[in-house]
Amino acid sequence: MSKDIYIGILGFGNIGSYFYKTVKKNLKKIYLKTGKRPIIRYISVKSPNKKRKIKIPRSQLIKDPMRLVHDKKINIIVEVCGGSDGIAKKIIFAGLKNKKNVITANKALIAKHGNKLAELAEKNNVNFEYEAAVAGGIPIIKSIKEGLIANKIIKVYGILNGTTNYILSNMEKYGKNFSQVLLIAKKKGYAESDPKSDLNGTDSASKIKILSSIAFNIKISKNKILQEGIEKVNHVDLVHAKNLGYKIKLLAISEIINNKLLERVHPCLVLKNSYIANINGILNAVVVDGFPVGKAVLQGEGAGPGPTTSSLISDLCSIIKGDVKFPFGSSYLRRKNIKRFDFYKRSCSSYLRIELKDLPGVLSSITKIFSKNKISIKNLIQVPDKENNKASIIIITHKNLEKRYKNLLKNLSKNKYVLKKPIFIRVENL
Amino acid sequence: MSKDIYIGILGFGNIGSYFYKTVKKNLKKIYLKTGKRPIIRYISVKSPNKKRKIKIPRSQLIKDPMRLVHDKKINIIVEVCGGSDGIAKKIIFAGLKNKKNVITANKALIAKHGNKLAELAEKNNVNFEYEAAVAGGIPIIKSIKEGLIANKIIKVYGILNGTTNYILSNMEKYGKNFSQVLLIAKKKGYAESDPKSDLNGTDSASKIKILSSIAFNIKISKNKILQEGIEKVNHVDLVHAKNLGYKIKLLAISEIINNKLLERVHPCLVLKNSYIANINGILNAVVVDGFPVGKAVLQGEGAGPGPTTSSLISDLCSIIKGDVKFPFGSSYLRRKNIKRFDFYKRSCSSYLRIELKDLPGVLSSITKIFSKNKISIKNLIQVPDKENNKASIIIITHKNLEKRYKNLLKNLSKNKYVLKKPIFIRVENL
């Protein structure tokens, strides 16, 4: 049997080139641990003739990605070009059909097509692995699939997006507003030039859907989930939250309630001395709450070429060693569809910031709306802004149903004293 | 091929019986994920006729543990009786020689005999797995061996003993002294009736030696390592530490310095807002500092039947699936011996508490000893105890060499004003 195993790479940006360098540098190490030497055969790029920072034989660069699929020697395709559809999708589907093992860091693609890809991989008796797709270098996929294999997991949650965590942490730390910090994040390479899918929660939503699937042994849900981003969070909210004993974090949360699935991504007020409140900057953290293990926590850098490559190579070694059985821990035949928990039946306590005209009778008019909706108030802080003839009211409510909050917000928005759509952030007890 | 795989258990205490119940309960789940049903064939116990809380057929209980080794059907032996030598050692060695796979939670045994056991397992082409031996339910062994396989790890450290962490946390939280909290810990089952090996750091030392071995790809060191327990930590030290901005934690730390290995277990002052300072109670936490991944952190419950069983079953599934290659990540032929870093050449800042006679000239006499040893003082707090004609001096030093501290402590102990051997705790910057 040959000691070499051949790899094709699709995409050669930051991640692809870092992966290439690291594989070459660790050839001996990988050989000692797996018994095989991973040889990079081809790299498919848009412009093979473009000048590159990294020295690479011209013969390795190819323009037609289908050559990765049809090359007889290539055993593993590593997809690092991104996008839930387009060329990534085409090559991964074609590759699996042609009995190539596939490694990807592409959460959007897995969240969308993961069920079909798992089936295809199993039917063709090849591997489809994606440790790098969730939480960068943190070995969360392997930990749930293997390290915690015997557990009945009831909840999995965490900070799964480094960009938004960097922005919220730095807004709080330096008292800057959203757009200022976003600019800094872009300069430092912590936010992409188009950071929309990070900021609006789409990226976290893809990741939590993947985690749900392996944690609960279910098909990746096609549900439209509750998804709110951080764009609406103002730095005054971080200040008010702090004064009330909280921090604001964008969390992705998935849990089983009465045998139904509740997945959600939204900003949360979390107690400032809680574990998750103290995950700052670009860090990611995932908490797996299971039985018998209790709460297992994994934390580390959630993105960037280094951590991503660490996970890509972990998948590479697992495939070489023949470790992998099912992409999502058990066969696609055994992973069930599960009903969605009706979100409006969930209850939580919440934070509201309401901007108002500063007129007599305002407070009474506003609190009346709360009482009409049967929502009781735990804390209320009135912040005057005499100069602009305005005032803000900050409210923490007692626990209540989502459907009541929905109605409350509708009523508030219609109130004649209310100047803007109120800010509504859920309090999460973790 | 048979769908059943037969297991023999050695020992049937808390862990053994919990493991037994959990395997039976998860039979279907394990079958779906691995393709095999784990059948527990025999359990070797001291007194097969003893009444037990758990219902178990008498025919499964055997007295002679060698039957686990010689039974033709048994494929995997799970050792949960403990002890670095004695029956555990005998059965594991005999089992591996007779081509049985072995799973154990026995850190003392691995720290002592791990190198030979790995060689034996490899030569007989069977597995020797021990996820449960370090940090209970936290999948730290798998994470380092597989999830972080491509990384160059430079340091691994953490809180590896739940008993001592529980005691220190609760001494601090409730202002109680060591022996009071130890009593509570025993009542709650967080400390064994003879907790010596937990308290004096032996347990943590075994665990950090195992982690060093897989993190740095080296043989388990036979070095006598720096090992100090928590017995000397008084609750006044926790109070002083707090006032100075620190907490005291028992850490196990292993790192490579100039291609040499430095392993140590001792109480540390850590900044109170650092990650590790906020791991309280029976929790364990491990930080792996590597390249390219950065700092990866794993945290969870470090002991108890639940978390331990979670890891035992993870090993069981890996063996059934045929995932495992080398017990310590690479072959015993490739793991090197590594020189020991001379501990006295290490420098750190430190905390000292010195009890003195309250007489004129004392402070000058003490500070003179510091200056003679070229150790400069960063903070000094004098705490009078007029009633007893005593005083304490609390000192935080600037960084200095261990060998200088050694001499300092010798000089201090000889000083006529000093009433007791001074308390010396290192400050760790993490």
DSSP 8-state class, residue A396: E
Distance CA B328, CA A122 (A): 30
CA distance to B92, B119, B160, B220, per residue, from B206 (Å): 18, 19, 10, 10
Q: How many CB atoms lie within 10 A of CB A155?
A: 18
* Alpha-carbon gap, residue A310 to B147, rounded angstroms: 8
Whether residue A142 contacts residue B143, with contact meaning beta carbons closer than 8 Å, is answered with yes
Of B235, B286, B208, B152, which is closest to residue A143 (Cα–Cα)? B286
Mean pLDDT calculated for residue range A231-258: 96
Grouping H, G, I as helix, E, B as strand and the rest as coil, residue B82 is coil
Q: What is the DSSP string of A333-347?
A: TTPBP-PBP-GGG-E
For A372-385, write each residue's pLDDT tens digit. 999 999 999 999 99
User: ω before B292 within 30° of 0 (cis)?
Assistant: yes
Q: What is the pLDDT of residue A189?
A: 87
User: Which pLDDT score, from 0 to 100, does residue B323 have?
Assistant: 75
DSSP β-bridge partners for residue B263: B254
Query: How many secondary structure helices (H) and strands (E) does chain A include?
Result: 14, 18
CB of A312 closer than 8 Å to CB of A115? no
What distance in Å separates the CA atoms of residue A35 and residue A2, rounded to the nearest whole number? 10
Q: What is the mean pLDDT of chain B?
A: 95
Structure-token match 């997945």, residue found:
A263
- Residues of chain A numbered 256-315 and touching chain B (CB < 8 Å): 275, 278, 290-301, 305-307, 309-311, 313-314
Q: Where are the alpha helices (DSSP H) in B217-327?
A: 235-243, 305-321
Instruction: Give B347's pLDDT tier (boundaries 50, 70, 90).
Output: very high
Contact A324, B326 (CB under 8 A): no
Task: Chain A: give the shortest CA distance to residue B99, in Å.
Answer: 21
C-alpha B390: how far from its chain's center? 38
Q: How far is CA A424 from CA A234, A268, B4, in A?
A: 11, 10, 55
The size of chain B, in residues, is 430
pTM: 0.93
Cα dihedral B265/B268/B274/B280 (nearest 10): 70
Q: What is the mean pLDDT of residues B157-169?
A: 97
Q: Flag whether residue A138 sits within 8 Å of chain B, measured between CB atoms.
A: yes
Average pLDDT, chain A: 95
For residue B189, what pLDDT band results from cuts at 50, 70 and 90? confident
Q: Is the confidence at residue A1, as pLDDT, over 70?
A: no
pLDDT value for A397:
97
- Determine which of A154, A247, A314, A336 to mutate to test the interface with B (most B C-beta atoms within 10 Å): A314
B115: three-class secondary structure by DSSP: helix
- The SS3 assignment for B11 reads coil
Q: Compute the half-sphere exposure of residue A232: CA atoms within 13 Å on the CB side of its CA.
A: 16
Dihedral sign computed on CA atoms, order B337, B341, B342, B344? negative
**B80, B131 Cβ separation under 8 angstroms:** no
Amino acid at A245: G
Whether B231 contacts B199, CB under 8 Å: yes
Cα A367 to its chain centre, rounded Å, is 37
Q: Which residues of A are identified as catalytic?
A: 207
Among B residues 320-339, those touching chain A with beta carbons less than 8 Å apart: 321-323, 325-326, 329-331, 334
CA distance B306 to B254: 28
Angle, helices B362-372 vs B402-414, to 10°: value is 150
CA distances from B346 to A202, A324, B343, B378 (A): 48, 43, 5, 19
Reading the block at residue B268, the tokens are 């540390």
For residue A223, pLDDT over 70 is answered with: yes
State whether residue B84 sits within 8 Å of chain A by CB: no
Distance CA A258, CA B273 (A): 38
Do residues A289 and A368 lie in contact, with contact meaning Cβ atoms separated by under 8 Å?
no
Q: Token pair for residue B158?
A: 């953490």
Task: Give Cα separations from A136 to A26, A186, B292, B295 (angstroms).
Answer: 19, 19, 11, 12
How far apart are the C-alpha atoms of A137 and A131, rounded to whole Å?
8
Interchain contact, B22 vs A150, CB within 8 Å: yes
C-alpha span between A120 and A109 (Å, rounded): 14
Query: From the CA atom positions of chain A, what is the Rg in Å?
Result: 24
Could you give the ipTM of this predicted complex? 0.89
Best to test chain B binding among A310, A331, A332 (most B CBs inside 10 Å): A310
The torsion defined by the Cα of B201, B205, B211 and B213, in degrees rounded to 10, comes to: 170
Domains and CATH numbers, chain B: 4-133 (3.40.50.720), 140-303+331-343 (3.30.360.10), 346-427 (3.30.70.260)
H/E segment holding residue A268: strand A260-271
Q: Measuring CA to CA, which residue among B374, B351, B364 is closest to residue B422?
A: B351
Residue B146 has its nearest CB partner, among A30, A318, A325, at A318
β strands within A275-399, DSSP E: 283-291, 294-301, 347-348, 350-357, 377-385, 390-397
The pLDDT > 70 percentage for chain A reads: 100
Q: How far apart are CA A416 and CA A317, in angstroms?
A: 63
DSSP bridge partners of A377 = A397
Q: Which of B29, B150, B331 sits opposite A314 (nearest CB)?
A: B150
Residue B54 in this model has a pLDDT that exceeds 80: yes
Contacts of B293 in chain A (CB under 8 A): 137, 300-301, 306-307, 310
Which amino acid appears at position A69 of this protein?
Answer: V
Length of chain A measured in residues: 430
State yes or no: pLDDT of B1 exceeds 70. no
Quote the tokens at residue A255: 């849990």
Residues 6+ apart with CB under 8 A from A366: A354, A356, A393, A412, A415, A417, A418
Please judge whether B26 and A150 are an interchain contact, meaning their C-beta atoms are less than 8 angstroms apart.
yes
- Which of chain A's residues have a Cβ under 8 Å away from the Cβ of B329? 33
Backbone angles phi, psi at A154, to 5 degrees: -110, -20
Chain A positions touching B33 (Cβ under 8 A) are 149, 325-326, 329-330
| DSSP secondary structure letter of residue B218 | B
Concatenated DSSP letters of A134-182: SSTTS-HHHIIIIITTT-EEEEEEEE--HHHHHHHHHHHHH---HHHHH
Is residue B16 classed as helix, strand or coil in its secondary structure?
Answer: helix
Span A51-109, pLDDT tens digits: 888 889 999 999 999 999 999 999 999 999 999 999 999 999 999 999 999 999 999 99
A 10 A CB-CB count for B125 gives 8
Instruction: Supply the DSSP string of A38-51, one letter for each residue.
Output: EEEEEEE-S-TTS-
Question: Which residues of A are less than 8 Å from B278 in CB distance?
Answer: 275, 278
CA atoms within 13 A on the CB side of A339: 7
Reduce the DSSP state of residue B347 to 3 states and report it: strand
Cis peptide before B307 (omega within 30 of 0): no
Would the CB atoms of A296 and B151 count as touching at under 8 Å?
no
Whether the pLDDT of residue B141 is over 80: the answer is yes
Once rounded to an integer, what is the mean pLDDT over residues B110-115?
Answer: 97
- Nearest C-alpha of chain A: how many angstroms from B142? 7
**CA–CA separation, A97 and A123 (whole Å):** 9
Question: Whole-angstrom Cα distance, residue A173 to residue A176?
Answer: 8
Q: CB count, 10 Å around CB of B34?
A: 22
DSSP structure string for B384-426 = EEGGGTEEEEEEEEPSEEHHHHHHHHHHHHHSTTB-SPPEEEE
> How does DSSP classify residue B391?
E
Is the CB of residue A136 less than 8 Å from the CB of residue A301? yes
Interval B209-219: pLDDT, tens: 999 999 999 99
Position B191, amino acid: A
